Structure 1
Amino acid sequence: MIIEKPQAFVAPEFLIRQATQPWEIGGAASLRHRTFVSEQGIFADHDRDEIDKIALPLVAISTIASEADEVVGTVRIHEADPDVWWGSRLAVAPGYRRVGRLGTELIRLAVGTAHARGAKLFLAYVQMQNVPLFEKLDWEGLGAQDLHGHPHMKMRADLSAYPAIEDPTRGWMALTWRRAA
């Protein structure tokens, strides 16, 4: 008789929306710090910058019995110039990276929100290992560049592939699946 080791519980539903509550905003900041400072070492002390003063924080929140539980994914967006929006600091918590669609859903919310606010151009610097995901989501590479000592690809979203999302605070529930190890 073979007894399989139980896997850690991963909620099957996630809220995808703009962070509005203090715990959501704090959870996004904490996840970014863990990802870009502690884990990847891209920044020495913190990843906060001037963009945080104007950016909209977007989050993926795990649920338990359909109730919000924990921020497990985040990205921020901002308008840099009239009609030109940028996405940055996309992060998914390590225990949730094997869960399908969290990054994709955050990207969809980011571009769709900017699209509803008049974006004519949506750009991001994407870490090289994530370029294939963005290409599958109708983004095109515009050239490689080092940022903070790490290789990135400047990318542009095809806005026609992203319907406008008028109310990102409402968001949606995303049902996900867990990829096999």
Structure 2
Amino acid sequence: MLEITINVDSWAIIGPQAAAIRQQVFVIEQGIDATEEWDEQDALSRHAIALIQLPSQAWAAVGTARLLPSEKTAHGTTLSKIGRMAVLPAYRKQGIGAQLLQTLIAEARARQDDEIWLHAQRHACHFYAAQGFTEIGPPFIEAGIPHVNMQLLLK
């Protein structure tokens, strides 16, 4: 059983670890153009990083995700967006993604957001559905990969 710690902080603090994971998963593994991966939202967002304790007692960063700043909708509700969720291949299917997601959901609840949206890669929809998200709208292509919008109502 892995010992997992999730830290949440700014890009200035977590950025180097998060960037290394995103580079590996999105740019190298999935072939997303690096110019599409990095944007101005990183500096504005809250970032979660999953750390596991190795047998050597050192800690290694193995997963990341970000929570963008809240937005007010036309209906007067407050909307959060979660994105850039990535777990290194060797550590998938061990609950790390769920812990990252639940940590950022708790952050959104703490700032009293009404709902969370995310762009889920089609193959990962079942993962987000298991965490309470529902698909909304038709599938679309983002960065050359099939996605769907998903929503979680918090209130």
Q: TM-score, normalised by structure 1?
A: 0.74
Spell out the pairing of 1:25-104 with structure 2 (5 A cutoff).
25-45=15-35, 47-64=37-54, 69-82=59-72, 83-98=78-93, 100-104=94-98
1:132 to 126, 134, 138: 126
Give, in angstroms, the shift of residue 67 of structure 1: 5.4
Give, in angstroms, the shift of residue 38 of structure 1: 0.8
Instruction: Show structure 1 runs of 5+ residues with no match.
Output: 1-10, 161-181
Give, in angstroms, the shift of residue 24 of structure 1: 3.9
Q: How has the CA–CA distance of structure 1 residues 54 and 23 changed in structure 2, closer, same or farther, with 3 Å as cutoff?
A: closer
State the alpha-carbon separation in 2 of the partners of residues 35 and 66 from structure 1. Answer: 25
Query: 1 or 2, which has the higher helix percentage?
Result: 2
SS in 1 for 2:33: coil
1:105 equivalent in alignment to 2:104:
no
> In structure 1, what is the equivalent of residue 5 of structure 2?
15
Q: TM-score, normalised by structure 2?
A: 0.86
Q: Which moved more, 1:63-72 or 1:127-136?
A: 63-72
SS in 1 for 2:112: coil
Q: How has the CA–CA distance of structure 1 residues 68 and 118 changed in structure 2, closer, same or farther, with 3 Å as cutoff?
A: farther
Which amino acid in structure 1 is aligned with residue 141 of structure 2?
D
Alignment length, in residue pairs?
A: 149
Whether the 8 Å CA contact 1:140–1:156 is kept in 2: the answer is yes
State the alpha-carbon separation in 2 of the partners of residues 121 and 154 from structure 1. Answer: 13
2:117 to 123, 138, 146: 123
State the alpha-carbon separation in 1 of the partners of residues 13 and 67 from structure 2. Answer: 19
Which amino acid in structure 1 is aligned with residue 53 of structure 2?
T
State the alpha-carbon separation in 2 of the partners of residues 34 and 65 from structure 1. Answer: 23
Return the structure number with greater relative CO, CA threshold 8 A, min gap 6. 1
Which amino acid in structure 2 is aligned with residue 153 of structure 1?
V
Which amino acid in structure 2 is aligned with residue 15 of structure 1?
T
